Structure 1
Amino acid sequence: MVKTEIFIATRKRLKLSQVALSAGICTQATLSKFEKHQQIPTIDIMGALCARLGLTLDDIFSLSPPMQSQVNQGWAELLAAFGHQNQPAFHRLSQSLMTETLTVPMVIDLMLMRYFAAVWWQHDLRFAAQLIGEIDLKLASAQQQYLFYAITVHYYVKQHQDDLAAATYHDLMQRQARWVKAPYGVLMGAVVYLMAQYQFDVGEMTAATETAAIGITAAQKHDSTAFVENFFWLLYAAGKGWQQPQFVRQEVLLNARLLAKLHGNNQLLQLMQQRGEK
């Protein structure tokens, strides 16, 4: 539910015309369409307009209890699909969500997950660049910023901007104590995974296994399986050249494969097959 009447009443109480309110934020036409219930502007525009009126987005957007319950269920399913890297389910669920039913943090989470998908799953760098321009980090929490920059490391790699990738990675590593200690959830699991994957990709095998082990420990502590198959796979792949009992390595690989099959993580299953680890 969009409480347009509160928005309009506040604007009129402050004696702000549409031209004055929209100045430097959006066109008057965009604001007019919103007030006439024709179109809802993007989240950054709405955030700026509300801030100018002394309102929050939660003042304008609210849901009835049944609708809120439906949104919460859909959101939980979306997070699970993302953490399991079940790409078909994630795509279907993310397309079915209406952003006007989400809170500001949820909208930022959704944009970050789409950014991850564009860079890591779809290799769609044009769409990724578009999302970079749309994600407002001023509204993002510290954890959301960690994920943004962890994804951006790999975005730079795919753009062949290795120096920028390395600089962004090292900046994140200077904050490792913060993101390692953050509450483990789906998005923080993605941060840990992306950092471990970058370490693996640049040949820092010891660091990759240590970070993967951190991810497994944190997931176990919080009873989560988000990205855990990737952590097991990195432990296995990074440790192939080490002296360790064969049964230990096979057990790690088995854990990775079973979780990937359970979660529908086809990308990882295909990678295992390509590497001859069926």
Structure 2
Amino acid sequence: MNKNNTTISNQYIQCQLGESELAKIIDMIYQRAGIVITSQRREMVYNRLSPRLRALKIESFSHYLQILANSPTHSEWQLFINALTTNLTSFFREAYHFPVLAEHARQRGGAYNVWCTAASTGEEPYSIAITLDEALGASFTGPRVLATDIDTDVLEKARRGIYRLADINNLSPEQKKQYFLRRSDSDSPDPELEQVKVGRLLQNAVQFQQLNLVAPQWNVPAPFDAIFCRNVMIYFNKETQLRLLNRFAKLLKPGGLLFVGHSERFNDVDSPFRLKGQSVYCLAKENV
């Protein structure tokens, strides 16, 4: 890189995120994705969006926001959302949910299907698929798990299904052998660099789809036996949470379950759900 380009790059890096720009970003991400970001997250917002300014060779946040405001269908909107979306996941995270799912699936049998509403990079929907395969055997009717996310970047990683070998350390040897393939091009003396890929059985069990939870319509193959919406609604305000809960309630089969994150509580008088187990809910008006 020549000296002039270095100067330009540093100029982009040092651009300021003012109060008015931060307020606009907070409003924009809420209007588009329902995500609530507070002004205390200024540093996070700056660190996640400043690479977009560098990529576009834009010198100010106000110019960047003007591009978004002037074109509601601009392709940059998706990259804006991707940048501000938090993706923290792992295989069999909050592991106490999966025996509950397995028992529920065994009791119901048949064409059991699950919607994973925040697929992230794929660890959660693949964990669901493993659980269902172990509980019910292979499906002969197509994917059992619908895995959606608003972030197109993480969905692409999920579809590829390539992970570090260390990422599946908490799986049993039988699960590793049954559901994953060692990548032949990843031989390395450093275990951190070794990789695995999900096998065909898991790939066939999960259907990935981009979806915005605050969109007015969802193109999903409802009804579902279970819905996973874990550690998602903590980013929404109370009004949005209740609206989502009511929409989920309409998409569940009788006796269906809603799995949420360990810190999420929806047992108040306005919720259509009642607590059934540890962060597991069923419809309040059902006798299940």
TM-score (norm 2): 0.28
Choose between structure 1 and 2 for higher RCO, CA contacts under 8 A separated by at least 6 residues: 2
Structure number with the higher helix fraction is 1
